Structure 1
Amino acid sequence: MDYSTYFLSKKEMMVCIGKGILAGMLAAWILYQSVYGMVTVFIFIPLCIQREKKKRREQQKETLLLQFRDAMQSVAAALQAGYSMENAWRESEKEMTELYGQDGIFVGELHQINQAVGMNQPIEKLLYEFALRSDCEDIQNFSDVFLFAKRSGGDFHKIIATTIEHISDKIEVEREVQTVISAKKMEQKIMNVIPVFIILYLNLTSGEFLAPLYGNIFGISVMTGALGAYLAAIKISAKMTAIKV
């Protein structure tokens, strides 16, 4: 599995399409007051799909890193108890299955790694291949160090302990950052819908004020430009609050 990409399920895809259609209907009514404004669904649907894919991909990577850290803790405990490296990974699979179930995102990876090790494939090579697919810098760094230590000799317990500490610190800092900026994200969401309510309010209370912008080329151009600026502003504001550690 390549974790740099995410494929939406049928349910997730239908939800995105539904959101895109609703957004297109809203734009057709508010901006153009014409059924022809529904053509904007061909803008909103791809945008909804792209945004959902990005969101799900980030969540997938966060879950993968968290479960990888837990697996490393299990491996470290097994090594401390005197298990060999290969058997430590097998013990880790058992514990991870109990903790996350068979559907755990890293449980499947552990199962594949242990199966391949049972067929005499080197564990360092398998970890390296997984790290490339993980699209996660911390896992890739661990794989590089593990590969070097396996070939030249090294303190695996210390390497794994250092990895666990680093990932745990990163996860904790990430949570603290998200807590701090959560209020800003809420403000961003509120600001995103304010322009929509302003136009709705003007349409309902002072329809003659916006009437010249409907049913003519000039008005369509102005409203289309406003829609483009609005979508750009949403994208910029999302980037401003997307702080990564």
Structure 2
Amino acid sequence: MSTRTRDPQTLGGAGTLDRMARILAARNIDPASLEDMVDDPEPFSPLEALSAGMPPRYREAQADHPKVLTWARDVAEQSVAPSLGARRQVTTGPSLLMAGVVGAGKTHQAYGAIRLLIRTGLGVRWRATTAADLYADLRPRPGVDSERELATISRCPVLLIDDLGAAKASEWVEEVTYRLINRRYNLMLPTLVTTNLAIKDLRACLGDRVTSRLAQMTDRVEFEPVDRRRHRTAT
């Protein structure tokens, strides 16, 4: 194995290396792994680093639904640079609610939209979670500051909440959901929401306060009632 040390210029200089290390750390990837890129002939791109935080199934996801593409375009157009010459960052923007049966392609489109934002070269801090995992993370338990976790999720510039409405309804679930959605509504933060429920059925599951905020903050897409996973298996 070659023991040569890569010239920092190959990685774009020390500043780029530090930036990549921060990106990797934010995605729970050991920044020290950069040191193993000795014989890789290609530079380490921001897209590769950010995509590494996605589930393997969706790392090549492509958004093609017109309303999803419009959402990504509008978010990109509202991005701003924090200082002269700095890269533009996602700050505020529209939100999108995607409804349809299981397997209709909602999650694929959502991850594709995030990848599309990344490919534009914007600075994109994002987080994705299923509703079930969200409630598990926020449920009060010893040794965990659930209020701090809620604040962190609430302020994330781009958030994907997958399968909203799938968890068992309770007063606690409704309250936590309202607090999260209301904060993002007030901060005007881009939020992608998918649900297997028909839009008209969300109110019974999530309550009036949540559905009222969602109705005001999101554009809505109802996917065709086709389970694309089952269709691909059959063909």
TM-score range, shorter chain: under 0.3
TM-score of the superposition, structure 2-length normalised?
Answer: 0.22
TM-score of the superposition, structure 1-length normalised?
Answer: 0.21
Looking at secondary structure, tell me which structure has more helix per residue.
1
| Bigger Rg over Cα | 1
